[in-house]
Amino acid sequence: MYDVMSPKAEEFISDEEIQECLKYAEENKNNRELIEQIIEKARKMKGVSHKEAIVLLDCELEDLNEQIYQLARDIKEEFYGNRIVMFAPLYLSNYCINGCEYCPYHAKNKHIRRKKLSQEEIREEVIALQDMGHKRLALEAGEDPKNNPIEYILESIKTIYGIHHKNGDIRRVNVNIAATTVEEYKMLKDAGIGTYILFQETYNKKSYEKLHPTGPKSDYAYHTEAMDRAMEGGIDDVGLGVLFGLNNYRYDFTGIIMHAEHLEAYKGVGPHTISVPRLRRADDIDPDVFDNGISDEMFAKIVACIRIAVPYTGMIVSTRESQESRAKVLELGISQISGGSRTSVGGYVEEEQEEENTAQFDVNDNRSLDEVVKWLMENGYVPSFCTACYRAGRTGDRFMELLKSKQIVNCCHPNALMTLKEYLEDYASPETKKIGEELIAKELEVITNPKVKEKAREYIANIQDGQRDFRF
């Protein structure tokens, strides 16, 4: 029985409901009148239901698909403008007791080199990331109560926030660790994390249980209900994600929209972010085995339809995707990307000769952060290293209220320009700096509030004179 307000995973992610929606979409993929009605509703930029969203995804009418893509671009521009938030993953440990069949960290993999960073090694990794220019990290660790207990994660967060190297600071630590208890989520909240991220991998319970045969992660309900517990523990911002390629993409697309609807209805605020990783090759993992791969074209349409369904939610794409793939989805809805990423434990201090032996997946975009920043600016985007909303307490429903009222643009755009100016002064190559200075001068004129524009100019001049960390 489907119930968006239920605390039970099998009720707010109802297999029966999803199957009915998939059948409905298949039957109506060429129903011009219905699809036009859904697009018209979506133009109000308040979202569409999971049932309507899968109809858009399945639409086969070429002219209406063009309207879908254009609407996704319009929504992205309306709420997020041309800002792209930058981050990097930091892998603490690849020790894991789970049996996940798509991840090289799985417990039965005996030839992967297991590694766990000490606090001193974490310090060295963070300094390397700061020297690139990063201000926002996503912590990653396998599930292993002995090697990676919550105390280790908390100590690592404290270490990271305590490192001040030259002009470098990590100002926001997001955390991507296994589903846990309300009590431990409270500990993470008290440690000052930004977003708690947990990928569902797949919402199909039967597929989920087959892919997770052993370990704590095999409990579908406990994993799927984790975001409810995280919010109960006081964490305002949570990030959803599925691993496209594990299961039928239509099923998981519908499931992730339903999960977003559940959080909005049951907890009063939807997800802060949605990630859209695709299954990639890794040590001991061959993605072709799963036979659910999706083309770049379908991947782009998934991004567009998620943007239409949940217009207020940030969307993340990682270096799993190639430069070409990332370029396509940036305009359709993506608001955060990683740059200069390493998916190995300890990979920032030195690129290991045997990196594949500790890496979680192969990286498809191997460019440096400076190259990614330059590329974004050349394509009209403003790379943002901003963490202001999190540090000013604009999280959860407070962030969403500002976003929905379109007032957040008065904070985000100037904050993006100021943090970009910091990057240009401290880390950019001469060519990147030249392009960036021209972009900042141009983008300052976009600010419509005269007082905000004047203050932003003042702050940017102060940054050039050596001061740091201004924000609206």
Write out the chain's pLDDT in tens, 472 residues: 999 999 999 999 999 999 999 999 999 999 999 999 999 999 999 999 999 999 999 999 999 999 999 999 999 999 999 999 999 999 999 999 999 988 888 888 888 889 999 999 999 999 999 999 999 999 999 999 999 999 999 999 999 999 999 999 999 999 999 999 999 999 999 999 999 999 999 999 999 999 999 999 999 999 999 999 999 999 999 999 999 988 999 999 999 999 999 999 999 999 999 999 988 655 555 556 666 778 899 999 999 999 999 999 999 998 888 899 999 999 999 999 999 999 889 999 976 544 446 555 567 788 999 999 999 999 999 999 999 888 888 888 888 888 888 777 778 999 999 999 999 999 999 999 999 999 999 999 989 889 999 999 999 999 999 999 999 8
pTM as predicted: 0.93
Q: Angle, to 10 degrees, between the axis of helix 296-309 and the axis of helix 323-330? A: 30
Instruction: Report pLDDT for 444.
Output: 95
Report d(CA 373, CA 154) in Å as an integer. 31
Cβ-based neighbours of 358, under 8 Å, separated by 6 or more = 91, 94, 112, 113, 114, 115, 344, 345, 346, 347, 352
Best CA proximity match to 102, nearest among 275, 288, 255: 288
**Cα distance between residue 90 and residue 463, in whole Å:** 28
| Helices and strands (H, E) in the chain, number of each type | 20, 11
Q: What is the pLDDT of residue 397?
A: 86
The sign one gets for the Cα dihedral 242, 247, 249, 250 is negative
